Amino acid sequence: IDECALRTHTCWNDSACVNLAGGFDCLCPSGPSCTGDCTHEGGLKRNGQVWTLKKDRCSVCSCKDGKIFCRRTTCDCQNPSVDFFCCPECDTRVTSQCLDQNGHKLYRSGDNWTYSCQQCRCLEGEVDCWPLACPTLTCDFTAISEGECCPRCVSDPCLADNITYDIRKTCQDGYGIARLSGSVWTMLGSPCTTCKCK
């Protein structure tokens, strides 16, 4: 990507954008007029200036010679004024801890764990859980294996979980008995064989 040609660079008016492999550089022409300032969110940031993002108080940006560098706030849990919102793992107060759903394990604020196919997080004494994000599959037949949360592609439609059953349709077993779609039965004379009408 050529940030200079696309004008997506952050070089200020008095510096020249030079395209580099994997990025760009802001070069000052000779003379005292080049400040190395940066443009950010429609405003001017002075060379050497450090600021917190308006939309993310947990990220810090700096302007250095016409280029903007942003990073997540470093969490120093030894600092008594550490921001628990950005660094929940530093909050060791008992009131900020959480018990897991079984009541057996104690988590600190900021800890994550998986429970019943959900991703859970302890945040200041409260447990928030949301469904695990499963990849989108582009196959016709899928199945969820025992002990897993996300479906996988299967080639055999008889193993698939994602088939909807039309109860108006039937199957005929080996003895000529009509079975409803979706029904499960044990094969006559073979108690170890389970059949399913799909």
Mean local confidence (pLDDT), 150-159: 82
Q: Give the residues across from 136 on adjacent strands.
A: none
Q: Are residues 51 and 92 in the same domain?
A: no
Q: Are residues 61 and 109 in the same domain?
A: no
pLDDT at 165 over 60: no
- Domain coverage including residue 117: 88-131
Mean local confidence (pLDDT), 161-186: 76
Q: Are residues 143 and 101 in the same domain?
A: no
CA separation for the pair 151, 18 (Å, rounded)? 48
Tell me if 101 is assigned to some domain.
yes
pLDDT tens-digit map of 71-112: 888 889 899 888 888 887 787 776 788 888 888 888 988 899
Predicted local distance difference test score (pLDDT) of residue 5: 85
pLDDT at 24 over 80: no
Q: Helix, strand or coil for residue 2?
A: coil
Contact yes or no for 188/180 (Cβ under 8 A): no
Neighbours of 66 (CB within 10 A): 25
